[in-house]
Amino acid sequence: MPSADTSRSRMPVAVYVLGLSVFALGTSEFMLSGLLPPIAEDLGVSIPRAGLLISAFAIGMVVGAPLLAVATLRLPRRTTLIALITLFGLGQVAGAVAPNYALLFVSRVISALACAGFWAVGAAVAISMVPMNARARAMAVMIGGLSIANVLGVPAGAFLGDQFGWRSAFWAVALMSAVALVGVIALIPRIPIPDSRPRLREELRIYRDGTVWLSIGVTALAAGGVFCAFSYLAPLLTDVAGLPEGSVPAVLGLFGVGALIGTAIGGRFADAHLFGVMLGGISASTVFLAVLALTAQNQVAVIVLSFLLGLSAFFTAPALNARIFNVAGAAPTLAGATTTSAFNTGNTAGPWLGGLVISGGFGFAATAWAGAAMTAVAIGLVVVSLRRHGASRVVAGSTPARVPAPAEVSH
């Protein structure tokens, strides 16, 4: 049996290809945080209504992940990934040429459905190719694609929007999707469909387990709390902190740098200290959000906190992903879909709640208070989950047991 150090050094190249593909998906998902003002002005809608485009994408992810996981159950995994990244790219083209808010909204939902399916299938493939004590690390590679999207993609989208109009950002993501398609075709191996088909009815039984729902709740609230504030970061930076519009891409880039660092650190420690990473990361996010609300008019504080929020949120992400895969391990078809839906339930609720706060006249800074309330509840659920952990019927990823790599992907 290879040593733990040896196994840690070997990550299948296909996992990295999936991470690179997620870069395009993540850029599209998050770039609207830097494009809301020009989109709202061009389409003649309010910023809170433009913010619903973020929620529309998240809703598509929530619904699309389980539906597509089931719909593609009997399809080869590689073929499914190719089809979904192609559909996603076409959705970006539709968004780029959308003449009004309604059609842009529809294009976001379609793109989200494809993104959800790609993430659910891709995550399941990645998890299947590594041992249990490397699950968080494998997910960290994929989440790293989101982190890099925040470092490069989101600020670049804001820059393109400022210089050439918001539609240019959609064209850029369409081009990145084409590059990702080439990578998937060239480097993702053909994975044969197993003789033994998974039974969906049996897999659905995992949702009778309260531990699964606790994990879903923690993930949704942790993600929603951060994105309740992050979705409206651009107007907060300009209207509250008084920063020039040209500085928005740089600050968004700092969030992404923090996300990249947080993912790397969280992925390294989450397999061995899963609950510690969750508690530490979500608690830090709660503190940072509260301080952001209190110091929103201080330019230096807002810039520093943007970096720290990216770090704390993505530090937690590998552990949140691994935890759901661990407790939903009896449902290989739905585990990836459940993870995707959980994150994007939060990404739907967060911007929606932030929009309500803004529409209620409380201001952009108040979105950070609302986000802190969500993450505080998430901390409570982690504590409950930790107390139930010893009696769980599923071996949690917080114990780095040395197990052989799973067999060929089974769904």
407 vs 233, higher pLDDT: 233
Q: How far is C-alpha 332 from the geometric centre of its chain's CA atoms?
A: 20
Answer yes or no: is 294 within a domain: yes
Cβ count within 10 A of residue 402: 12
Task: Give the residue numbers spanning the domain of 160.
Answer: 12-189+200-389
| Domain-embedded: residue 401 | no
Q: What is the 3-state secondary structure (H, E, C) of the chain?
A: CCCHHHHHHCCCHHHHHHHHHHHHHHHHHHHHHHCHHHHHHHHCCCHHHHHHHHHHHHHHHHHHHHHHHHHCCCCCHHHHHHHHHHHHHHHHHHHHHCCCHHHHHHHHHHHHHHHHHHHHHHHHHHHHCCCHHHHHHHHHHHHHHHHHHHHHHHHHHHHHHHHHCHHHHHHHHHHHHHHHHHHHHHHCCCCCCCCCCCCHHHHHHHHHCHHHHHHHHHHHHHHHHHHHHHCCHHHHHHHHCCCCHHHHHHHHHHHHHHHHHHHHHHHHHCCCCHHHHHHHHHHHHHHHHHHHHHCCCCHHHHHHHHHHHHHHHHHHHHHHHHHHHHHCCCCHHHHHHHHHHHHHHHHHHHHHHHHHHHHCCCCCCHHHHHHHHHHHHHHHHHHHHHHHHCCCCCCCCCCCCCCCCCCCCCC
The domain tally of the chain equals 1
What is the model's pLDDT at position 406? Answer: 30
Four-point Cα dihedral 406, 130, 16, 13, nearest 10? -70
Q: What is the pLDDT of residues 6-59, one digit of tens each?
A: 444 477 777 888 888 888 888 887 788 778 888 888 888 888 888 888 878 877
291 in a domain, yes or no?
A: yes
Look at 137 and 2; give whichever has higher pLDDT: 137
408 domain-assigned: no
Confirm whether 287 is domain-assigned.
yes
End-to-end CA distance of the chain: 26
Residue 305 has pLDDT above 70, yes or no: yes
Tell me, what CATH number does 228's domain have?
1.20.1250.20
On the CB side of 336, CA atoms within 13 Å amount to: 30
Q: What is the mean pLDDT of the chain?
A: 81
For the cut 50, the answer to whether the pLDDT of residue 80 exceeds it is yes
Average pLDDT estimate for 74-102: 88
Mean pLDDT, to the nearest integer, of 292-306? 94
Q: What's the whole-number mean pLDDT along residues 111-119?
A: 86
Residue at 366 is within a domain: yes
Flag whether 404 is in a domain: no
- Model confidence band, residue 193 (pLDDT cutoffs 50, 70, 90): low
Q: How confident is the model at residue 410 (pLDDT cuts 50, 70, 90)?
A: very low
CA dist 270 and 263 (Å) reads: 10
Residue 254 lies in a domain: yes
Instruction: Report the distance separating Cα 136 and Cα 397, nearest Å.
Output: 8
Record the tokens describing residue 363, joined without a space. Answer: 């201001």
The type of residue at 204 is L
- Dist CA 321 CA 343 (whole Å): 9
The lowest-confidence range among 202-216, 297-311, 318-332 is 318-332
pLDDT tens, position by position, 205-218: 778 878 889 989 99
